[in-house]
Amino acid sequence: MATAIFQREFNYSSRTQNAGWSVSASPDPQTFPEELVAAAVEAGAAERVKPARKRASSKGADNG
């Protein structure tokens, strides 16, 4: 899965599976299959966003 911000509506039909998607524009990052995001970026409809990394919890860690 890949994450991107879509500036405009984007419709895509998969080349490898029997599936299609209709993505609405949004200022919030959206997660879709890599195949769709790559096509949207190439078409100028989206910009990739690196996924937020989860921080390691310090609970239970010996910080002493």
**pTM attached to this predicted model:** 0.77
Whether the predicted pLDDT of 62 surpasses 70: no
Answer whether residue 64 shows pLDDT above 60. Answer: no
User: Is residue 61 predicted with pLDDT exceeding 90?
Assistant: no
**Residue 9's CB: how many other CB atoms inside 10 A?**
10
Mean per-residue pLDDT, 4-15: 96
pLDDT tens per residue, range 12-53: 999 999 999 999 999 999 999 999 999 999 999 999 998 777
